[in-house]
Structure 1
């Protein structure tokens, strides 16, 4: 023994008071002449570690706080617990934790999540047996995913969506694994395609505004483009002008970027106008926008027929039913009634794009009689929506019931390729590239539900850190937090 060494260790607080432990440790002399350290201080098993100024119990507590809350929220909670610490201390404790051992992963789930939305993405890998993350990759490239799979040859099943990088990475890194597509993503892709088709035929699918009985369709369409004073709506005039300007500049071969820069518009707006073959499609979207009155038109119609014509009284009544607008909107809605343009029949539920898409995607037996009648009438008026309804329901029945009917799926792909709408044809081409994974999904019970749950948890962790965390810190919190 050379001498004594005084140490002061911070410990967990007791009854709201800070606790410090004073230790008298021995400093020992090494008698081995070849040793690089001449003297050293003995460690007390349990509470002390080399160079530590906190007990192991307090260190474990701070690590848990950093793991659950992050740096700044953890520091604020520690102060309330009478523990003196700072942001950097909590981050050091978190980064000092070792990575967990993933163990064998026979069934793997993979998905992407945004580090910066629409800019930077990472990949989360989930053990589908334990439903816990096993690793987080810094990007979503196929090469990175394939390299990880080569280090885990025990993977036999890969649950994924239809993203191309995951398909290519799985084929290159784990050719022995069976790829399974997610049914929910397939249904979501089908619903998106149906919604685009319904939006393209918005003029036939949306409920027209109240017009006098017997008005010809052309006159009714022209009336919808006028305001209450009989003047053209500014939105309609601006839409026609922009459509003509964009198509005049696109015809000689100008790029969308150049047209957008010249007209002061976004590329998305220029692309939407350029893809539209007829300006009437854009005008239908402009003149059939949903409003706050859509869910209360039937109630107001019945109340008007009951001789209740006071707009203020009617506004108070529908506000009790959930209406969030003001009385002026009710007055504007009732103005055609006061001029004699009262519908001969009660207004039916508004056929918005989302509502018609919901009718098509829902099971036929789950539709009400009114919804079924409206959808049937709509399909009779628009053959394109009739074929879309047929194709969507055929595929939805295969996916929902997990029918192991490979031939029926092949027939659906062939039929859509021949005479389906181009949105469904694009969906069919993507499904054909993932045909093996989709067929596997039809006869297995695997899904990407646990993966989506972990992606939701990652969003919570990102919000706790205010988006300021580096990738290594976010990765540790994803892997280590319960």
Structure 2
């Protein structure tokens, strides 16, 4: 406990227990105002010991808690590097013609499967059919055919060469099976057949089984995994920039019971398959960059410091982040509005800010708002009064210095006696 008028430590208590704190506070009957952190147990103890005392919540801790909750949400929602489009530069007509020619040449080299993967990627990003067909030099009828096919039909269309090779292998094997059966009909023994054809006797037995097929039983059969029912949804979320943690949280509510590592592995494979399109997104057909990466770390720093103090990001870049990631813009302005309410002592805006924050339906911010409402009187007093915990924080540092002087070897009673003695003497040895 620190006296705000003398700036001295008055006393210390070695407990956070409600009953102990109440009894300790009652030994100081002249307490009128208390500045404290957001601890509900301290609030209740102060209210019990001194019902008429004014309780003031520390502004630093209020702002620190809000920014920490917002940081947690941004860490969960944004990737480490955030992609934002560069300002568009108008092209000359000649450049446009060259770009279209280059695009057409590149698209002609794409396989039908690669075109289908790019169609999916562009659909996820919200582009319309006409734009996609123009971008990929694709006929509208081919687009409709690919989209309306079943997965099995597409697989058959994309894997024709592989299937042809498989059919040739099956035909050769079937010819061998027929020869074994023909020889057995003509009275050859199994051992003689094995020697003649050059196969094992056990293989001869298999080939003579009328139910045996030249096609492997597992051919064309794909075992469904736990992610199978969510694949289309996951593809959509990946295209929108969701992290594996976000996707895991969403699909788990819909019945997914697999591991998050399966999601990470699928996302890694998906990005690898679509790497060409991802790289192309970052540059145009001439190879000029059309997007840039902003470090998430710098966006988090903006919750604590003004943009003038962050060297790695400009206001123009920040505006582009706002346009691309609306939720970040909302959080950024929410933190700054709360800071202004505290600094400008504008208590009339507090209720409006709480309603706005609560309406976002962001779990982390909802937790902060619940904490405010539980201690709303002390929060209002933090805006009205100038009191804060600055003295207490400085005194904690002083206490730590004294403890280090004694190499940490002291009981609480010894430490308390030494601290109070130093306060009385107005100096620290």
Normalising by structure 2, report the TM-score: 0.50
Name the structure, 1 or 2, with higher relative contact order (CA <8 Å, separation 6+): 2
More helix by percentage: 2
Normalising by structure 1, report the TM-score: 0.45
More strand by percentage: 1
Instruction: Give the structure with higher Rg (CA).
Output: 2
